[in-house]
Amino acid sequence: MNVRDSEHMIAELNREETYLLTKDAKEADLILINTCSVREKPVNKLFSEIGQFVKHKKHGAKIGVCGCSASHLGEEIFKRAPEVNFVLGARNVSKIREAVLKERFLSIDINYDESAYAFGEFRQNPYKAYINISIGCDKKCAFCIVPHTRGEEISVPHELILKEAARAAKSGAKEIFLLGQNVNNYGRRLSGGKRGEINFSQLLVKIAEIDEVERIRFTSPHPLHMDDEFLEVFASNPKICKSMHMPLQSGSTAILKAMRRGYTKEWFLERAKKLRAMSPQASISTDIIVAFPGESERDFMDTMEVMEEVRFEQIFSFKYSARPLTTAAQMTNTVNNKTASLRLKTLQDRHAGLLDEMTPNYKDRVFEVYFEELRENKMAAGRTSQNFTVCVEGGEELLGKIKNVKITRPQRLILYGQVV
Ligand code: SAH
């Protein structure tokens, strides 16, 4: 989502002037730091990063802090880093041109409605088009700061999404990647409070009807909204990539309740089982938080059990991090850091073990790979429908193409193979 917000800012800047991108901060006239605030660590890094830019930047170059940390820190950024010229919240991206013109500018209104704003066109990767289909989040997960930085959930009108998808696909982006904090809750509320005309499953079907679209991905769906209609569309539509993200967070029903996730361990397992049955070739990835306040050893074992049962192909796992504005930050039954680190390691080690069991099975299998980028040593990389990264020897000629690849050397994170 941040990548897309950055693309939107670049597109806006380019409306009237030409901005060239540079990786060398010393060369830049404008330095944009697009931030996250989901965990504490990146927020701490922000100020040391600003310090580095201040030290090395060109005389007169402006610095803008954007995104979720901008939303929640606001004025404090100017206080702690007076060299910053503007602070632009995650829902105020469209104001970037106004921001760069002023000596000092702050816009962090989380009620600002950009859901139907027609951003300019810019894509870092011409082969893949990220499209925001909703902004904000209506969930009230106890650990999560996002509703406080991105505001309430508003869906983008489907006509705009379809137009953007068609335009991107016609210009070469065979893959459409739909984005939303709660992506499969699409259509619940449009700007002004009206309900949308179509739901997420129907939106997927409509996007798949665009001839030039060959692949559709989306993130992040919420397990609670994985109803049968959604699973059926996912499993049966050949253009929808067979990779599902199912953020578990915890396997313990008691902790899920304290987290206010709205589902139980059994419900999650039932949905995952149904998905495996309906779409046996699909991969399932997840997000897991260990050591949420009150998590006992038994609760943690529940999480380990779910991992064992679902056999996730990929996990993103985190130690719980207390975030300002969230209800969990008030909880006093915290888990000590040593236990938290141990649980994270136990979880990650076992998942590495699961991957060691799964990965060898990919040897000699043939996958359809969409090539998106070049890597070192004359390698080209792409993804299978399941979202596995595949590398083969090759160059430019492969980019933007879908090829059959036979896996010769499967590794945990990269499957090496040959085009066949
Ligand atoms: N809207 C998405 C989450 C986006 S944040 C969803 O509900 O799936 C991505 C992940 O960061 C979350 O799924 C969660 O696992 C993790 N996360 C969020 N808040 C956290 C916190 N306070 N501490 C640790 N991890 C957190």
Rounded Cα distance, 399 and 382, in Å: 8
Q: Distance, CA 393 to ligand 1 centroid (Å)? A: 36
Rounded Cα distance, 126 and 371, in Å: 11
pLDDT band with cut points at 50, 70 and 90 for residue 362: very high
pLDDT band with cut points at 50, 70 and 90 for residue 336: very high
Boundaries of every domain in the chain: 2-107, 123-241, 244-360, 363-419
CATH 3.30.750.200 describes domain 244-360: yes
Residue located nearest, by CA, to atom 14 of ligand 1: 287
Is the C-beta atom of 318 inside 6 A of ligand 1? yes
Q: Distance, CA 372 to ligand 1 centroid (Å)? A: 27
- Give the containing element (helix H, strand E) for 348: helix 337-358
Residue located nearest, by CA, to atom 4 of ligand 1: 181
Is the C-beta atom of 121 inside 6 A of ligand 1? no
Given a cut of 90, is residue 152 above it in pLDDT?
Answer: yes
Q: Distance, CA 186 to ligand 1 centroid (Å)? A: 19
In the block, residue with structure tokens 């160059």: 395
Atom of ligand 1 nearest to the CA of 322: 22
Rounded Cα distance, 163 and 154, in Å: 18
Is the C-beta atom of 181 inside 6 A of ligand 1? yes
pLDDT band with cut points at 50, 70 and 90 for residue 317: very high
Proportion of the chain above pLDDT 70, given as a percent? 100
CA 320 to chain centre: 18
Given a cut of 90, is residue 43 above it in pLDDT?
Answer: no
CATH 3.30.420.40 describes domain 123-241: no
Contacts of 153 (CB under 8 A, 6+ apart): 134, 135, 136, 137, 138, 180, 181, 182, 185, 188, 189
Q: What is the pLDDT of residue 42?
A: 84
Among 288, 289, 334, name the best residue to mutate to test ligand 1's pocket (greatest count of ligand atoms within 8 A of Cβ): 289
Is the C-beta atom of 323 inside 6 A of ligand 1? yes
Rounded Cα distance, 154 and 139, in Å: 12
Structure tokens at 327: 């209800």
* CA–CA distances in Å: residue 354 to residues 16, 132, 219, 294: 52, 33, 24, 27
Q: Distance, CA 153 to ligand 1 centroid (Å)? A: 16
Is the C-beta atom of 218 inside 6 A of ligand 1? no
* CA–CA distances in Å: residue 239 to residues 171, 176, 210, 312, 383: 18, 10, 10, 22, 14
Q: Distance, CA 328 to ligand 1 centroid (Å)? A: 13
Contacts of 42 (CB under 8 A, 6+ apart): 35, 36, 69
pLDDT average, residue stretch 197-222: 98
pLDDT average, residue stretch 162-177: 97
Q: What is the pLDDT of residue 279?
A: 98
Structure tokens at 95: 């104001």
Is the C-beta atom of 260 inside 6 A of ligand 1? no
CATH 3.40.50.12160 describes domain 2-107: yes
Is the C-beta atom of 249 inside 6 A of ligand 1? yes
Q: Distance, CA 144 to ligand 1 centroid (Å)? A: 6
Among 135, 318, 327, 344, name the best residue to mutate to test ligand 1's pocket (greatest count of ligand atoms within 8 A of Cβ): 318
Q: Give the bridge partners for 415, in sequence order.
A: 390, 410
Fold: same for 123-241 and 244-360? yes
Beta strands at 154-155 and 134-135: parallel, antiparallel or unpaired:
antiparallel
Q: Distance, CA 229 to ligand 1 centroid (Å)? A: 26
Task: Please state whether the predicted TM-score (pTM) of the whole model is above 0.95.
Answer: yes
pLDDT average, residue stretch 47-58: 96
Q: Distance, CA 38 to ligand 1 centroid (Å)? A: 6
Radius of gyration, CA atoms only, the chain: 22
pLDDT average, residue stretch 20-46: 93
Structure tokens at 356: 């060691």
Burial class (CB in 10 A: 0-12, 13-18, 19+), 391: buried
Is the C-beta atom of 43 inside 6 A of ligand 1? no
pLDDT digits (tens, 9 = 90+) for 373-400: 999 999 999 999 999 999 999 999 999 9
What DSSP state is assigned to residue 14? T
pLDDT digits (tens, 9 = 90+) for 206-216: 999 999 999 99
Is the C-beta atom of 150 inside 6 A of ligand 1? no
Atom of ligand 1 nearest to the CA of 139: 7
pLDDT digits (tens, 9 = 90+) for 96-146: 999 999 999 999 999 999 999 999 999 999 999 999 999 999 999 999 999
Beta strands at 389-393 and 366-375: parallel, antiparallel or unpaired:
unpaired
Structure tokens at 291: 């050591």
Rounded Cα distance, 382 and 369, in Å: 6
Strand arrangement of the beta sheet that strand 215-219 belongs to = 128-132, 175-179, 215-219
Is the C-beta atom of 38 inside 6 A of ligand 1? yes
Is the C-beta atom of 289 inside 6 A of ligand 1? yes
Amino acid identity at 106: L
Structure tokens at 337: 């850091």
Given a cut of 90, is residue 49 above it in pLDDT?
Answer: yes
Homologous superfamily of 363-419 in CATH? Nucleic acid-binding proteins (2.40.50.140)
CA 279 to chain centre: 23
Is the C-beta atom of 320 inside 6 A of ligand 1? yes
Q: Distance, CA 171 to ligand 1 centroid (Å)? A: 34
Given a cut of 90, is residue 44 above it in pLDDT?
Answer: no
